[in-house]
Structures are given as structure tokens and as C-alpha cells.
Amino acid sequence: MRRLHARGERLTVGALPWVAPVYRAMPQVAEVIEFPFQHGGLQFKARRKLASQFDGRFDTAYVLPNSIKSALLPLLAGIPKRIGYLGEARIGLLTHRLKNPPKKGGHGDRAPMVVFYSRLSGDAEDDIAMDRPCLQLDTLELETGLAELGLQRGTYYVFAPGAEYGPAKRWPASHYAELAAKLDLPVVLLGSGKEAALCDEIARPVNTQQAGKCINLAGKTSLSLAFAAITAAKSIVSNDSGLMHVAAAFGVRQVALFGSSSPIHTPPLSDKATVLWLKNDAAYQPPLDCAPCFERECPLPLDGGHMRCLNDIAPMRVLTCAGH
């Protein structure tokens, strides 16, 4: 977005409602249009109806997902220049098609996602570096959000213990609970409604010993309110997840815990981020030859190193990094 904006393009982003607040917090984006589509299915009639409203409005469409349905709307809207990666037989839907980067061997060779998407701008490969994303909340929005949540700036930590992709990316709930019990301030737990039970598993044992130490807001906030909670936190501890990237873009001090995925591929792009990944820790033995596996669930047997990549990140180590 920053690359396109810098060369004078006016940016309108079409996004599903659950992610639209991210684009509204990008200063480069002039307009956000929420798509009314449901997950799954082509929904051709709905796309054609929406496309009729865009006729003649746009010169160029940058299609980020590699699916047919994501490329269909720009075609139906008659947008003359449609840019995206090859995928799902989209040759007739896109006017400018980029080849997907080759897989160089092991999973650890996956290129950074920022570079992958920045290439859609058409900039020369040598000019594409690891751009630092930046999200912004205005003061009124931040203060209103904190008042609604009953929080005060700098008086709590945030945990984001979920990971939509799967359990192989989640630091154990018992580790989060042990860390929360040791921190010097209350902990606010954030996540979707699907992660409410996970957050309760963390909060319950802590609150039994220290009443009110953990505040479980999973499923109880909008994404915009979660932005406010993250922005004003002393620091955030999270797995490799969407909220990890949100914290990085807001410049919040953070500890990012990696296991099955790779901080080479999807790092938190912030100078205030501390990444803990046993794969690149020379002192950790035996080495994690299995990482990164990028699997949703650990493929190893329970008695054969199962989840060692995350289980062996000690809460005390995270405590030191989180700013205790």
C-alpha cells in the first residue's frame, strides 16, 4: 500500500468485514469497501451485482489472493488492468500475471511474504526490501476504545494465545498461565470467539490464585477495540498470528513465539519485536531438524519430540523478554 500510494495511486481496498478495520488503520488507504461474501463458494450473482457498482471507477486492480473468485470481481467490474499471481487457472481473468516464486527445497527457504506481495507493485526485484508496515489510530478512537474496555494506557500486558492456522503454532496454555502469574501487571487476553475457551484455560488457574489478574476478552471485542487494547499495552506476547502482525504495525513492544512456522517467512516487522524460535538457537539441543514444518498439527508422535519447538520455550525466558 505504501509503495502504490507513494507513486500517486489513490487506493480503494475491497475486504471482508473481519479484516476491513486493518485497512482502515492504514494511512495510505483512501476508502475501504466491505465485501458481503460468505466463506466458500463462487457466489457469482453477488459478485456480479457488486461489480456493477464499480463500472468505470477504477483503472487497476491488484488481486492478492491466488483464487479464481478473488480475480472474478475485477473482471466483472471491467477494470482494464488486473494484476496478480498465477493460480487456479486465472489466465483469462488477469491481464498481468506474475509467476509464483519457486520452492527452493525445504520449507525454511520460503521467501518473506512482504516481498511476495510487494512484487505486485511492479517494482524491480532489487528495490523490494522488508518494508515496515504501519497502522495508526487517532487519539480520539484510541481513548474511546480504552474507556469502553475499562483499560488505562501502560497498565497491563496483552496475550494473543490463538493461531487460526492450527495448534502447531500455539504456545501451550499452561505456559501462558505460568507467565501471566509471574508478570507484575494484569493480563488482557485477546482473540476470536473460537479462542474464548483457550483464553479461559489460561485465565482460570491464574485468577484462582490472583483474583482479577487475567481479563478474558476473547470474542468480546471488535477488531478495532482489539487495536486499542494492543496499542496501549505495556507489551504483548503472542504466537505467529494476525494479532502479532498488528502489534508490530502499531510499534508495540512484543515477544513473538514461533514453532512450526518461520520468522524468515512471516516475521513481526518491528524494531520493538523479540522473536523466540528454537530452530535458530544454537544453544538449544538437540537441534530442531523438523522445523519449520508449516503443518497445522505437529506430525511427530507424542513420544517422539511432539511440539518440542514450542513446549521447550520456557515461560521464564519469555518473562525476561516481555519487560518484567
At 230-248, the pLDDT tens digits run 999 999 999 999 999 999 9
Report how far residue 184's alpha carbon sits from residue 52's, in angstroms, rounded to the nearest whole number.
Answer: 56
Helix (H, G, I), strand (E, B) or coil at 122: coil
pLDDT value at position 130? 61
Average pLDDT rounded to a whole number, residues 210-214? 97
Report how far residue 122's alpha carbon sits from residue 126's, in angstroms, rounded to the nearest whole number.
Answer: 11
Report how far residue 176's alpha carbon sits from residue 301's, in angstroms, rounded to the nearest whole number.
Answer: 23
Q: How confident is the model at residue 125 (pLDDT cuts 50, 70, 90)?
A: low
Q: Which domains does the chain have, with CATH numbers?
A: 2-127 (3.40.50.2000), 139-322 (3.40.50.2000)
Q: How confident is the model at residue 109 (pLDDT cuts 50, 70, 90)?
A: low
Report how far residue 74's alpha carbon sits from residue 51's, in angstroms, rounded to the nearest whole number.
Answer: 7
Residue percentage of the chain with pLDDT more than 70: 95
Average pLDDT rounded to a whole number, residues 112-139? 80
Q: Looking at the predicted structure, is the pLDDT value of residue 104 above 80?
A: no
- Closest by CA to 181, choosing from 197, 149, 159, is 159
Average of per-residue pLDDT values in the chain: 92
Q: Residues 42, 73: contact at Cβ < 8 Å?
A: no
Q: Which three cell numbers stand for residue 110?
A: 520460503
Q: At what angle do helices 315-322 and 173-182 cross, to 10 degrees?
A: 50
Q: What is the pLDDT of residues 282-313, one digit of tens each?
A: 999 999 999 999 999 999 998 878 999 999 99
Pairing of strands 157-160, 96-98: unpaired
Q: Residues 275, 258: contact at Cβ < 8 Å?
A: yes
69 vs 125, higher pLDDT: 69
Q: Residues 242, 266: contact at Cβ < 8 Å?
A: no
pLDDT value at position 113? 85
Average pLDDT rounded to a whole number, residues 13-38? 93
pTM for this model (two decimals): 0.90
Average pLDDT rounded to a whole number, residues 212-226? 97
Q: At what angle do helices 242-249 and 223-231 cross, to 10 degrees?
A: 50
Helix (H, G, I), strand (E, B) or coil at 159: strand
132 vs 194, higher pLDDT: 194
Q: Looking at the predicted structure, is the pLDDT value of residue 38 above 80?
A: no
Report how far residue 143's alpha carbon sits from residue 149's, in angstroms, rounded to the nearest whole number.
Answer: 10
Distances in Å between the alpha carbon of 37 and those of 23, 68, 87, 189?
18, 14, 21, 29
H, E, C per residue of 238-252: EECCHHHHHHHHCCC
Report how far residue 167's alpha carbon sits from residue 297's, in angstroms, rounded to the nearest whole number.
Answer: 6
Q: Looking at the predicted structure, is the pLDDT value of residue 107 above 80?
A: no
Cβ neighbours, 10 Å, residue 168: 23
Q: Looking at the predicted structure, is the pLDDT value of residue 216 above 90?
A: yes
H, E, C per residue of 165-185: CCHHHCCCHHHHHHHHHHCCC
Cβ neighbours, 10 Å, residue 55: 11
Q: How confident is the model at residue 128 (pLDDT cuts 50, 70, 90)?
A: low
Q: What is the pLDDT of residues 142-175, one digit of tens each?
A: 999 999 999 999 999 999 999 888 899 999 999 9
